[in-house]
Amino acid sequence: MTYWNASDDHVVSIVNNTYMNFTSNVNETEYHQGRAILASTLDVVETVNEYMIALNAAEAKAYLSSDTTCRSDYNVDLLQDLHTLEFLNSIRCSGVPNHELKLNVGSLVMLLRNTDHSVGLYNGTRLVITKTENHVLEAKF
């Protein structure tokens, strides 16, 4: 379990005021409607996500991005020297998914790409994770 220090009190306060009784309502879809936390930076987003995952009793599962560079005949060794796996995995910027994503049943996620307009899966759609498998997530909106 993660322990929060005094500098994270603002995150604890915002989460507890926005998601009152979160642990007892984590699987209730209606509970999540009309609730959202907007953050000014990706660091704040990550801190809020870590705190909310710590509140959830379900075991968190880590999903990793692919961590290999594209090899071609012209740059076989050059890219490996310039872009180490540690560097690639540490990139944190808007539009690029983090290398590691931790999720558990009850986690709230938002689609960042238009997926299927016919069923309502478009940029900004919020979903609740209902099942986590090794390579597949199940969610409902």
Rounded Cα gap, residues 33 and 65, in angstroms = 29
Query: Is the pTM above the cut of 0.85?
Result: no
Query: Residues 15-67: pLDDT tens digits?
Result: 989 999 888 888 787 888 888 898 888 888 889 988 988 888 888 999 998 76
Q: Confidence band (pLDDT; 50, 70, 90) for 79? A: low
What are the sequence ranges of the domains in the chain?
6-140
Residues of the chain with pLDDT > 70: what percent?
82
Q: What is the number of other CB atoms lying within 10 angstroms of the CB of residue 52?
A: 20
What are residue 126's DSSP bridge partners? 110
The b-or-e profile of 70-104 (16+ CB within 10 A means b, else e) is eeeeeeeeeeeeeeeeeeeeeeeeeeeebbeeebb
Query: Residues 80-91: pLDDT tens digits?
Result: 566 777 888 888
